Amino acid sequence: GQQVMQIPQYQHVQEGEDFTTYCNSSTTLSNIQWYKQRPGGHPVFLIQLVKSGEVKKQKRLTFQFGEAKKNSSLHITATQTTDVGTYFCAGRGNEKLTFGTGTRLTIIP
Amino acid sequence: DAGVTQSPTHLIKTRGQQVTLRCSPKSGHDTVSWYQQALGQGPQFIFQYYEEEERQRGNFPDRFSGHQFPNYSSELNVNALLLGDSALYLCASSRRRQSYEQYFGPGTRLTVT
Residue-wise pLDDT for A61-88, tens only, equals 999 999 999 999 999 999 999 999 999 9
As averages over each run of 10 residues, the pLDDT of chain B (113 residues) reads 91 98 95 95 94 93 97 98 98 79 94 98
Selecting from B58, B100, B107 the residue whose C-beta is nearest the C-beta of A31 gives B100
One-character DSSP codes across B77-110: EE-S--GGG-EEEEEEEESSTT-S--EE---EEE
Position A54 confidence tier, pLDDT thresholds 50, 70, 90: very high
Judge: B42–A44 Cβ closer than 8 Å, yes or no.
no
Judge: B106–A41 Cβ closer than 8 Å, yes or no.
yes
SS3 content of chain B, % helix, strand, coil (to 5): 5, 50, 45
Q: B6 forms bridges with which residues in the sheet?
A: B23
What's the pLDDT score for residue B97?
Answer: 59
What's the pLDDT score for residue B98?
Answer: 57
What's the pLDDT score for residue A96?
Answer: 82
What's the pLDDT score for residue A63?
Answer: 98
Pairing of strands A10-14, A103-108: parallel
What's the pLDDT score for residue A105?
Answer: 98
Rg (CA), chain A: 13
Judged by a CB distance cut-off of 8 A, whether residue B9 touches chain A is no
pLDDT mean across residues, chain A? 95
- Region A24-34: mean pLDDT is 94
What's the pLDDT score for residue B1?
Answer: 62
Shortest distance, CA A38 to any CA of chain B (angstroms): 11
Q: Is the pLDDT of residue A55 over 90?
A: yes
In 10 A of CB A18, how many CB atoms? Answer: 11
Whether the CA torsion A41, B109, B104, A102 is positive or negative: it is: positive
Q: What angle do CA A1, A66, A27 make, to 5 degrees?
A: 10
What's the pLDDT score for residue A94?
Answer: 72
Q: Is the pLDDT of residue A50 over 80?
A: yes
Q: Is the pLDDT of residue A48 over 60?
A: yes
Selecting from A43, A48, A96 the residue whose C-beta is nearest the C-beta of B104 gives A43
Position A12 confidence tier, pLDDT thresholds 50, 70, 90: very high
Residue B30 CA to residue B68 CA, distance in Å, equals 10
Judged by a CB distance cut-off of 8 A, whether residue A39 touches chain B is no
Give the contacts of A96 (CB within 8 A, at least 6 positions apart): A2, B45, B56, B58
